Amino acid sequence: MPSSIKKILVLVLFPLTFSSQHICDTDKFNENFIENNPKHYQTIENQIQDYLSFNPKSSQTITIPIVFHVVWINRIQNIPDSVIYQQVEVLNSIFSAKNSDTINLTDTLKNWVGNFNIKFELAHRDPYGYPTKGINRKKTISPHFSYWNDPVKKSHYGIAPWPTNRYLNVWICDLTENSMGYAQFPGGPEETDGIVIDWQSVGNQIYPWTSSDLHEWAKGKVLVHEIGHWLNLFHPWGNTYSGCGEDYIPETPHQKGPIYPEANCPDTLFSECQDSGRLFIKHYMDYAGSSCMVCFTKNQVLRGLASLHTYRSELINSYQSQTIASGFDNTKIYPTYAEEKFYIEFPEYLGSIDILIYNLQGQLEKKLTIVDKWFFIVYIQDLSPGVYVVSIIHNEKPVFNKKILH
């Protein structure tokens, strides 16, 4: 293709303003925190790359408890439970690579498809140990919400998050203007961790209340996209408004900006970034619309799992602890930064308890058993420096997890 035609095509695909399109506000939401903590986020990236250097591969299914907070002002925004159940079905189909729309990929592209092997299950215990269906509802006084100041996560206007090391929190509300949703990258403040999506994007189909300009995104894939961000996947143009940034994914060439819904999802689009050739637009981290967004790539999966095992590791075993009584909620493990030892306090005498210490590769480094103690000292001077996950086991089930730095 002549270069002049390529440039014309690129200008059509990558408009200079996004104001007329529906967008993801994840970059804007995380911008200030990243700018104010550059060393922190560089450390996160370094640890993810270190984890990836081990080239970990696991077929084990990871179950993540998810809770939906529905915040509404008009009755129609208070979407029924059935729509949320349909949304969870979409997540579990896609994050296990069982979605049927990958049939439209060429044989070459099918080899790029990755499988997270993640199952999302609606929480069945709340933070206090009481039964729940994993769906909260609140009528608000705010007509709209946005990423700015994040009010939907505050109890005055919205719903405060459940412990973010035990649940994936998803807020459903009416977002302002053209925002479809936003997510917090790993490593940000615990009190704002989670995902916010517009109420019209939830479910697995186009509903009577779905705005016509949302039809391209209204089949459950907005939340899929935002969970990708929550797992530290970036847009293919990187975290920069000028485009051609780094997303750390080999299968997705550098892009100048987002690709909006394209008829027939062509494989013949090109970017104007210096080192890029033909674009791959059929993954979930672009804006190409539901019909084009059909997979995560293998390297997107590896990066997402690396983030999960490093900065969201406590969630991996949190599902099993949901069946346990709330007596363990007040367990304390301290200090978080431990040189030679750390301490465990239980709220009461709880019989026989196993203490398991795992490294970030999931390997068991240390196991201790205690009986009828409410206070215990764990010595770790024999462990190599690094981040570890302390898992408390009672009646052969994980009941409490805490990450420490040695």
Taking residue 15's Cβ as centre, other Cβ atoms within 10 Å add up to: 13
- At position 200, the amino acid (one-letter code) is Q
Name 219's Cβ contacts closer than 8 Å, sequence gap at least 6: 90, 203, 204, 205, 206, 290
Is it true that domain 326-405 has CATH number 2.60.40.3080?
Answer: yes
pLDDT digits (tens, 9 = 90+) for 374-395: 889 999 999 999 888 898 888 7
The listed CATH number (3.40.390.10, 3.20.20.70, 3.40.109.10, 3.40.50.1950) that belongs to domain 3-311: 3.40.390.10
- For residue 355, the model assigns a pLDDT of 94
The tens digit of pLDDT for each residue in 158-185 reads 999 999 989 999 999 999 878 999 999 9
Which ranges in 54-129 belong to alpha helices (H)?
Answer: 81-94, 107-110
Q: Which residues are designated catalytic?
A: 226
Domain boundaries, the chain: 3-311, 326-405
CA gyration radius for the chain?
A: 22
Q: What is the pLDDT of residue 11?
A: 31
Along the 406 residues of the chain, how does pLDDT read in single tens digits?
Answer: 333 333 333 333 333 333 346 789 999 999 888 888 888 889 999 989 988 887 666 668 899 999 999 999 999 999 999 999 999 999 999 999 999 888 878 888 889 999 999 999 999 888 876 678 999 999 999 999 999 999 999 999 999 999 998 999 999 999 987 899 999 999 899 999 999 999 999 999 888 888 887 777 778 999 999 999 999 999 999 877 677 888 999 888 888 888 887 667 777 778 778 766 778 889 999 998 888 899 999 999 999 999 998 888 888 877 755 544 445 667 889 888 888 999 998 877 778 899 999 887 778 899 999 988 888 999 999 999 988 889 888 877 777 888 888 8
- 326-405 matches 3-311 in CATH topology: no
* Segment holding 135, helix H or strand E: strand 135-139
- Longest alpha-carbon distance in the chain: 77
- DSSP class of 337: B
pTM of the model: 0.76
269-272, long-range: CB within 8 Å, 24+ apart, which pairs? 269/9, 269/13, 270/1, 270/6, 270/9, 270/10, 271/10, 271/14, 271/244, 272/6, 272/7, 272/10, 272/14
Q: What gap in Å lies between CA 172 and CA 178, rounded to an integer?
A: 15
pLDDT in tens, 51-94: 888 766 666 889 999 999 999 999 999 999 999 999 999 999 99
